[in-house]
Amino acid sequence: MIDLILTIIGEILIAVGVFCSLVASIGMLRFPNFFVRLHAATVGSMGGSFLPIIGAGLIALGSDFPDKWMFFGGLIVAAIIVMLVSPAGSHALARATHRARVAPVEPKVTDHLKEDEDEKEGEKD
Amino acid sequence: MDTQVFTFIMIILPIYLVSLLLYLIRAFKGPTISDSVLSIDAFSFAAIAVMGILSLFFKSLVLVSIAILLSVWTYALDVFVSKYLEKKEMGE
Amino acid sequence: MYELILIDVFLAVISTVALIFTFLTIMQKDLVKAAIYSSIESASYLLVFFLLMSPDLAGAYVAIGIGIYPAVVFFLIKKTERYEDK
Amino acid sequence: MNLKKSIVPIFLAFVVYVVFSGSLSIYDISTGIVVAIVAGLLFSEILVKNVSKSLSLMRLGHLIRYAFYYFFVAEVQAHLDVIKRILNPKMPINPGIVRVPYEVSSDYAIVGVAGSIINTPGTVVIDIDEEKKLYYVHWIDVSTQEPGKCRQAICESFEKYLTKVFD
Amino acid sequence: MNTKTVISLLVIISSLLAISYAIADQATGVIPQTGLRNLASFYLENTLNPSNKSYWTASPEATSAIVWDYRGFDTFFETSVFYLAIVGCTLVFELYEPPKSKTTKQTELGLTIIVKVITKIVGILIVCVSASIALHGQLTPGGGFQGGAALAVLPILFIITMSRFALDRKVNDTSMIIIRALGLCGIGITVILPLFLGFITNNNAYIIQNQMKPDALVSLPSTIADKMMGGSLWMLNVSEYIAVGAGFTLAFLLLSLPERSFKKILEEEKYATY
């Protein structure tokens, strides 16, 4: 009984994950600039990767593999590392891109960061 | 493992393949370097999920450790590129 | 039977993508972009190794192909120039 | 080398090692203890600053409560919002970078709040100013530009939980 | 599209076609061969064969067994090529002054606090995961080189996110050379250990011997507590793990030296020669 429940939860998680991954890849293509694409990439990393990894672990736990605990533990550690690593990576990349002025922030409503940076440079001169 | 999970994985995998290919189109098109690197990120994380699901399919637990290595090295690649773009020496 | 066909299709598509990115790496004049394309190629070949079930090879390849090789290239580009033929 | 400081890192390292190995055999536990002591002593200086905070169980309870709120409420809402925007044919985005003040003080709390903001789709912390206590957040739907209201919309709920955990 | 593009495209396409033809099932050339070769069937039969222990390796992971036991001599030289490369790297960077940081403020070094703290937390996870990969090298795929290469991500991340000046005083090139030498000594001792045991117990023994052979009755421990240990495989994996991790750390510490620490020396040399 508990095996069946675990399998069904795992399948639901994987199904949600694959939907998020597909939507994120469409968003990566449709969005206009780098900074907006960051949000699509977040959907891809949290919804499209974190959830299905845990789902795969649950399915393994509900099956009759010989070393299923090893499988489950490895996948859980992988999911935790993905959750820690993806925000740090996208933050570092976004900051460097904004500082180097490589990608445009257009279209935009405001850009307070650029205003503050310009103010600081004005003080230095 | 029952056949129902097997069929489920068979339906899931082609969709992931499509999503991987769409990420790679952005990596190829990306007007700036940052776009390409961001889509490599997304590609690797999707690939990690594919690896987890495929190791269910192959019933071999040994393939899991590679997923962890892939995620960490992808993070390292992000950090290299952002350090390169920050216009500092790499070691400072 | 259907599973095997699916795995074959996966393998064929991913290895073709890897080939395309190899070509782009060779022809690219911007060395930073070349390093990034080469790491995409490595990630694709990693999936190929995974599908062929050779974890030993994949474990060494992920470190060298995605991590250490682009790292060395970036360290060196920082000390020299970014574009070829200039 | 402070032994009290390294209790939490050693325990964390041991748990990760055993979970990754996935078995409780004598070989795994004995090698796990050795690896955990080496890793914990290496990392204790840079990971732990305040010993009594790291050993408090109350804070762990608050962290678990926060995890429930984060995964089942915040993440789901943000995902649904961004997915709707992507699939809408008109693509109603309204992006911009706004200042968001924060009021937490310790390193882990700052990073925890920033990580939560980045990991919910729709908001990404572009830069952080530690002297003025400001995040610069790229927001997909800029409904207001006033710092106080931005804080209310973006990070107040995370801060409410995380001050109890880390401060 | 110039001729260079066309030629490289042609080379790539033709090599792809050749490889796919060679791999495909229909290929009737020389590469596919029906039936196992003698050596391969020997490996397959004897790697883990508890009923006939005359040539076994006491390790369920056949790849590691072949790499470190049956083909240990090959691997020994392949590994030494890698170490020679790192020796060359240290020689190239020999003439530098120990550099000093321009600022003492932590916030101006490296990237932002978010990246720094997350790198620290990921660091302790990586140590555990890589140690697990290396210590289970005789049971699951992976082993010394894979574990060491996984450990190498740690110094690279620390150098780039926090700068090489913020590393502890314990992590510098001298200490890394010492740790790497310890790892190499581990490999050397493991290789010679059977001879030593044979000398003590008055038996025949070979170099790089693992389990007992019909004419050499020395054997390293085959099980530890409740798991297969694979005798020398375990020791070689651990030594290789330490040596590879320290070697990559050393290489990246040297590569990350700022350019200004060389400029003075290089200019002096220029004036000296011309």
Q: Name every residue in B having a CB less than 8 A away from some CB of C.
A: 6, 10, 13-14, 17, 20-21, 24, 27-28, 33, 36-37, 40, 43-44, 47, 50-51, 54, 57-58, 60, 62-63, 65-66, 69-70, 73-74, 76-77, 80-81, 83-84, 89-90
Work out the average pLDDT over C5-22: 86
DSSP string, D54-118: HT-HHHHHHHHHHHHHIIIIIHHHHHHHHHHHHHSTT---B-EEEEEE----SHHHHHHHHHHHH
- Average pLDDT score, chain D: 87
Percent of chain C with pLDDT over 90: 16
Work out the average pLDDT over E36-63: 83
d(CA C73, nearest CA chain E) in Å: 11
- The reported pLDDT for the residue numbered A26 is 92
- Average pLDDT score, chain E: 82
**Which chains touch A (3+ CB pairs under 8 A)?**
B, D, E
- Check pLDDT > 90 for residue A88: yes
Sequence-distant (6+) residues with CB within 8 A of D64 are none
- The reported pLDDT for the residue numbered D6 is 84
Band the pLDDT of D93: cuts 50, 70, 90.
confident
CA distances (Å), origin E236, targets D153, E146, E187, E243 = 56, 13, 6, 10
Kindly state whether B65 is in contact with chain E, defined as any CB-CB distance less than 8 angstroms: yes
Sequence-distant (6+) residues with CB within 8 A of D142 are A109, A110, D94, D95, D96, D98
d(CA B34, nearest CA chain E) in Å: 17
Which residues of chain A make contact with E112, given a CB cutoff of 8 A? 91-92, 95
- Check pLDDT > 70 for residue E130: yes
Per the model's pLDDT, the better-predicted residue between E83 and E115 turns out to be E115
**φ and ψ of C45, to 5 deg:** -65, -30
Work out the average pLDDT over E2-26: 79
Q: Which of A75, A77, A90 to mutate to test the interface with E (most CBs of E within 10 A)?
A: A77
d(CA C76, nearest CA chain E) in Å: 8
E41-47: long-range contacts at Cβ-Cβ below 8 A with a sequence spacing of 24 or more? E43/E70
Which residues of chain D make contact with E107, given a CB cutoff of 8 A? 130
Work out the average pLDDT over B8-14: 89
Q: Which of E114, E140, E160 to mutate to test the interface with B (most CBs of B within 10 A)?
A: E160
Q: Which of C14, C51, C74 minimises the CB distance to B84? A: C74
Determine the angle formed by the axes of helices D26-47 and D7-21, rounding to 10 degrees. 140
Task: Test E153 with C67 for CB contact under 8 angstroms.
Answer: yes
Which residues of chain E make contact with A84, given a CB cutoff of 8 A? 118, 121-122, 125
- The reported pLDDT for the residue numbered A15 is 93
d(CA A116, nearest CA chain B) in Å: 18
Task: Test E101 with B75 for CB contact under 8 angstroms.
Answer: no
Sequence-distant (6+) residues with CB within 8 A of E177 are E90, E246, E250
Eight-state DSSP code of residue E68: I
Eight-state DSSP code of residue E97: P
Task: Test D128 with E114 for CB contact under 8 angstroms.
Answer: yes
pLDDT digits (tens, 9 = 90+) for B42-85: 999 999 999 888 888 888 766 778 888 899 999 999 998 998 88
Cα separation, B91 vs E218, in Å, equals 50
- Check pLDDT > 60 for residue A91: yes
**φ and ψ of E221, to 5 deg:** -60, 135
**Tokens describing residue E94:** 């020999």
Reference A35, options B35, D35, D79; nearest CA is B35
Q: Write down the residue that tokens 């216009």 correspond to.
A: B87
Reference E41, options E60, E20, E62; nearest CA is E62
Reference B24, options A56, D47, C14, A71; nearest CA is C14
Task: Test E256 with C75 for CB contact under 8 angstroms.
Answer: yes
- The reported pLDDT for the residue numbered E1 is 67
- The reported pLDDT for the residue numbered E93 is 78
- Residue E50: cis peptide before it, omega within 30 degrees of 0: no
- Check pLDDT > 90 for residue E32: no
**Tokens describing residue E17:** 């076609």
Work out the average pLDDT over E92-113: 73
Q: Which of C6, C33, C59 minimises the CB distance to B65? A: C59
Name the residue of chain E whose CA is nearest to D27's CA: E225
- The reported pLDDT for the residue numbered E108 is 73
- The reported pLDDT for the residue numbered E262 is 74
- The reported pLDDT for the residue numbered D90 is 86
Rg (CA), chain A: 20
- Average pLDDT score, chain C: 86
Band the pLDDT of B18: cuts 50, 70, 90.
very high
Determine the angle formed by the axes of helices E113-135 and E232-255, rounding to 10 degrees. 150
Eight-state DSSP code of residue E99: P
Work out the average pLDDT over E202-215: 83
**Tokens describing residue E262:** 């060389």
pLDDT digits (tens, 9 = 90+) for D101-114: 888 888 888 999 99
- Check pLDDT > 80 for residue E103: no
- The reported pLDDT for the residue numbered D57 is 83
Cα separation, E117 vs E113, in Å, equals 6
**Which chains touch C (3+ CB pairs under 8 A)?**
B, E
Q: Which of B61, B76, B92 minimises the CB distance to E163? A: B92
- The reported pLDDT for the residue numbered B64 is 79
Task: Test A57 with B61 for CB contact under 8 angstroms.
Answer: no
- Check pLDDT > 80 for residue D34: yes
Percent of chain A with pLDDT over 90: 42
**Which chains touch D (3+ CB pairs under 8 A)?**
A, E
Work out the average pLDDT over D120-148: 87
- The reported pLDDT for the residue numbered E274 is 57
Amino acid at D150: C
- Check pLDDT > 70 for residue E25: no
- The reported pLDDT for the residue numbered C38 is 92
Task: Test C71 with E252 for CB contact under 8 angstroms.
Answer: yes
- The reported pLDDT for the residue numbered B22 is 93
- Check pLDDT > 70 for residue B35: yes
**Tokens describing residue A79:** 């999911």
**φ and ψ of D99, to 5 deg:** -85, 135
Cα separation, C84 vs D121, in Å, equals 39
Sequence-distant (6+) residues with CB within 8 A of A125 are none
Task: Test C47 with B50 for CB contact under 8 angstroms.
Answer: yes
Determine the angle formed by the axes of helices E153-162 and B64-85, rounding to 10 degrees. 30
Per the model's pLDDT, the better-predicted residue between B34 and E93 turns out to be B34
Which residues of chain D make contact with E168, given a CB cutoff of 8 A? 45
Q: Which of B33, B35, B52 minimises the CB distance to A52? A: B52
- The reported pLDDT for the residue numbered B75 is 93
Identify which of A5-14, A96-105, C8-17, E5-14 has the greatest average pLDDT: A5-14
Q: Chain D 57-96, CB below 8 Å of chain A: which residues?
A: 75, 79, 82-83, 86-87, 91, 93-96
**Tokens describing residue C47:** 């999936």
Kindly state whether C13 is in contact with chain E, defined as any CB-CB distance less than 8 angstroms: no
pLDDT digits (tens, 9 = 90+) for C42-74: 999 998 888 888 888 888 888 888 888 999 898
DSSP string, chain A: -HHHHHHHHHHHHHHHHHHHHHHHHHHHHHSSSHHHHHHHHHIIIIIIIIHHHHHHHHHHHTTT-TTHHHHHHHHHHHHHHHHHHHHHHHHHHHHHHHHHT-S---S-S-BHHHHHHHHHHHHH-
Lowest mean per-residue pLDDT among C45-49, E130-134, E161-165: E161-165
Which letter, b or e, does each residue of E212-240 get, where b requires 16 or more Cβ atoms within 10 Å of its Cβ?
Answer: bbeeeebbbebeeeebbbbbbbbbbbbbb
- Check pLDDT > 60 for residue D92: yes
**Tokens describing residue A43:** 């959907």
- The reported pLDDT for the residue numbered A52 is 93
Task: Test B47 with C71 for CB contact under 8 angstroms.
Answer: no
Identify which of A46-60, E2-16, E130-144 has the greatest average pLDDT: A46-60
- Check pLDDT > 90 for residue A17: yes
Residues across chain E: 274
